[in-house]
Structure 1
Amino acid sequence: MFNDAFYDSLGLMLFMLNPFLLIVYLIDLVEELDAKTFSIVLIRAGLISGCCYITFAILGNEIFDTLFKADFASFQIFGGIVFLITGIQYVFNGNKAIKKLRGAPQYVQGGIVMPIMVGPGTISASIIVGQRLDYPIAIAIIVTSLIVCIATVILLKYIYVAVKTKNEPLLLRYIDIIGRVAALLIGTFSIEMIMSGIRAWVAKF
């Protein structure tokens, strides 16, 4: 059970669900919501995301081949473009870009899910995990990764509140810089997704 594929898959999901990056994207919610409300919103978003991950882990490429009649390479290309646009907007506009993508406050759970928690990267990772391992183990990895991610983000919320009272300007500046640097990494990853999709699509001919 605990072989290289298990640890590689767990590492992949934890990397794609990076809680330290997620807290940067949710910083406006961290500031606006109290700890209890923030935790409830995040847990609900995690439940929705988990259902999506498990669905893609079990069905894999069949979702694209059978349901959508499309190739996974097309998803990689389009998903990479969406990821790239998100990264570019964050580089130039900071957290305001993510807040705009989330939409109205009453839809905040859905806004956290798409495009922050459920995106091209996490969907691709879920498919890979489902292909590498038996379904029960793949589901266990997805659930474990989500629990670790959500618990870490909630813990970071409490740490943020404690530190903010003493060094708010410095903390906000630090978060802004980290977010923009992370956006550069997202842009790089999105280009790699686009190129992988193009290579897979061209290889068919």
Structure 2
Amino acid sequence: MEIALLLFLVIDPFGNLPFVLAVLGRLDARAYRRAILREVAIAFAILLLFAMAGQAVLDYFRIEPAALQVSGGILLFLISLQMIFRSSAALFGGRYGSDPLLVPIAMPAIAGPAAITTLIVLRDQQQAGLAEIVAALAAVLGATAAILLAGRPLQRLLGERGIDALEKLMGLILNLVAVNMALGGLRQFLAAY
């Protein structure tokens, strides 16, 4: 239960909801549902991979935990600028329209540096067994999917102008979170050397 609560707080589906609505808000209901379920499934696979072999993957590629934070912060920063200045075509390279694959919802919004690092630390410090982590992860991502799927009624309530305003506001907030994440990674890196 503690692991599930920790993962729920780190993944923060309520905090991700306005961001997801901003990215997927213009899809029809069926495409929105399909995108949410696909992105949550991809995030589950990514997080499961890191829960099972996260430290080995990082060690193999010689990636330090601080690099996860810095790169995640930079990616979120770029996304935030595009949300603020309304260039969603550039956000997805113009190829995916308004239905992105993997980035930015599955990773880094759901399976972000904080969630990956949390799983690696839980396994590394042997605070939980793999079965317990998988069960907690499944429960949290099930709840995340339910929360994100419930976002459509909110979108209907707010309308297009409301979603546009929410997108810009979330872009500003995401910008601050991104800078804070990158600075945290830099502090961690500098403290190590």
- Structure 1 length as normaliser, TM-score? 0.76
User: CA separation in 1, counterparts of 2:80 and 2:97?
Assistant: 25
What's 1:53 paired with? 47
Q: Deviations over 1:10-43 (max 9, x none)?
A: 22223487234312221122xxx3x334323321
The answer on 1:128 being equivalent to 2:118 is yes
Between the two proteins, the alignment pairs up a number of residues equal to 186
What's 1:166 paired with? none
Of the three residues 95, 101, 107, the one matched with 1:104 is 95
Cα shift at 1:130: 4.5
Q: Which has the larger radius of gyration?
A: 1
SS in 2 for 1:198: helix
Q: What is the letter of the counterpart of residue 26 of structure 1?
A: L
User: CA separation in 2, counterparts of 1:143 and 1:122?
Assistant: 16
What's 1:141 paired with? 136
Backbone CA RMSD of aligned residues: 2.7
Equivalent residues of 2:69, 2:184 under 8 A apart: yes
Return 5+ residue gaps in structure 1 as ranges.
164-169
Change (3 A) 1:126 1:138: farther
Q: How does 1:7-156 map to 2 (within 5 A)?
A: 7-15=5-13, 18-29=16-27, 33=28, 35-66=29-60, 68-93=61-86, 96-97=87-88, 99-102=89-92, 103-105=94-96, 108=99, 111-119=100-108, 122-132=112-122, 133-134=127-128, 135-156=130-151
Higher helix residue share = 1
Cα shift at 1:203: 1.7
